[in-house]
């Protein structure tokens, strides 16, 4: 795109890190909870806060690295929103958000402004607050060195960023706990499917200008022999809601043969998307 924009939805909750910035050891995955519920709540708030801080730092680093190439990167605080985000809060907090919060429609205005307004192209690296105003984030969010560290941490391959690289070396000895064994298999299956999409996207990126079309496909839930090692309940669910194998092949055939499918190179196509699109075309 001639003037691409990245809008990261952050939050004023980035201040809840209490100035500590990113606690790197907490990014390795969830820890065992405390027996004191208050401590768990404080830890959850800090984790949320540093995820929102990360949004701002990532935005600023994007603007610093690619601003000269025309990229506009803006972080946004949409405001306090009366939405389902409050569903797990206590009675008082939940009702306060519902009474004092913006409607979701109003909460979207600053993001829409950042993504579409001609004036916003001058705001790369800025933090916007409601409604469509330049705000002043917490001082730690302006730390360029921390932004660089976060960028490098992400690009080293964080353990929760999709792939557990050590699992790609071959199967490990099975655990004696059935649940963990099933979880490990599920996780390996999921990252193999993630690999399919990443590989297709990279093929499209590298060879698209040479005419190669690479499309990754989700065929849908299929009632097939794939379910043979699942438990009885899971097999029953597959049998009840799964497409027959013949319908499961529709999206692959479309991607391989339809003339208009070439526009989907580097995209993921789903059977449900095709059904909806064809249904709308027939109305």
How far apart, in whole angstroms, are the C-alpha atoms of residue 126 and residue 64? 11
Catalytic residue among 37, 41, 46, 48, which?
Answer: 48
DSSP 78-110: ---B-SGGGTTS-HHHHHHHHHHSBPHHHHTHH
126 is catalytic: no
Token pair recorded at residue 271: 């059977």
How many residues belong to the chain?
Answer: 283
**Residue 46 near residue 67, CB atoms below 8 Å:** no
- Of 10, 11, 216, 265, which is the active-site residue? 10
Q: Which residues contact 205 (CB under 8 A, 6 or more apart)?
A: 266
Q: Check if 207 is active-site.
A: no
Q: Which of 11, 52, 75, 127 is catalytic?
A: 52
Parallel/antiparallel/unpaired status of strands 127-129 and 72-76:
parallel
Active-site residue, 32 included = no
Using alpha carbons only, give the angle 85, 87, 90 rounded to the nearest 5 degrees: 115
Which residue numbers are catalytic?
Answer: 10, 48, 52
């Amino acid at each position: 795109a001639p003037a691409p924009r990245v809008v990261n939805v952050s939050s004023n909750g980035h201040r809840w890190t209490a100035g500590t910035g990113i606690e790197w050891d907490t990014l390795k995955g969830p820890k065992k909870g405390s027996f004191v519920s208050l401590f768990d709540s404080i830890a959850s708030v800090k984790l949320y806060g540093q995820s929102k801080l990360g949004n701002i730092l990532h935005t600023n680093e994007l603007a610093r690295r690619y601003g000269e190439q025309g990229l506009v990167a803006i972080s946004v605080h949409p405001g306090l929103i009366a939405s389902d985000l409050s569903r797990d809060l206590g009675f008082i907090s939940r009702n306060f958000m519902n009474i004092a919060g913006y409607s979701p429609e109003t909460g979207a205005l600053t993001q829409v402004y950042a993504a579409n307004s001609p004036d916003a192209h001058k705001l790369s690296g800025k933090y916007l607050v409601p409604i469509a105003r330049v705000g002043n984030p917490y001082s730690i969010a302006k730390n360029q060195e921390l932004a660089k560290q976060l960028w490098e941490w992400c690009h080293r391959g964080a353990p929760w960023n999709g792939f557990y690289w050590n699992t790609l070396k071959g199967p490990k000895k099975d655990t004696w706990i059935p649940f963990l064994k099933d979880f490990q298999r599920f996780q390996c299956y999921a990252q193999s499917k993630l690999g399919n999409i990443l590989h297709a996207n990279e093929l499209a990126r590298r060879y698209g200008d040479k005419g190669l079309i690479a499309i990754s496909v989700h065929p849908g839930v299929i009632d097939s022999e794939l379910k043979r090692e699942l438990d009885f309940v899971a097999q029953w669910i597959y049998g009840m809601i799964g497409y027959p194998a013949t319908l499961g092949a529709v999206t692959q055939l479309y991607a391989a043969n339809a003339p208009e499918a070439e526009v989907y190179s580097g995209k993921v196509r789903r059977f449900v998307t095709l059904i909806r699109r064809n249904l709308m075309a027939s109305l």
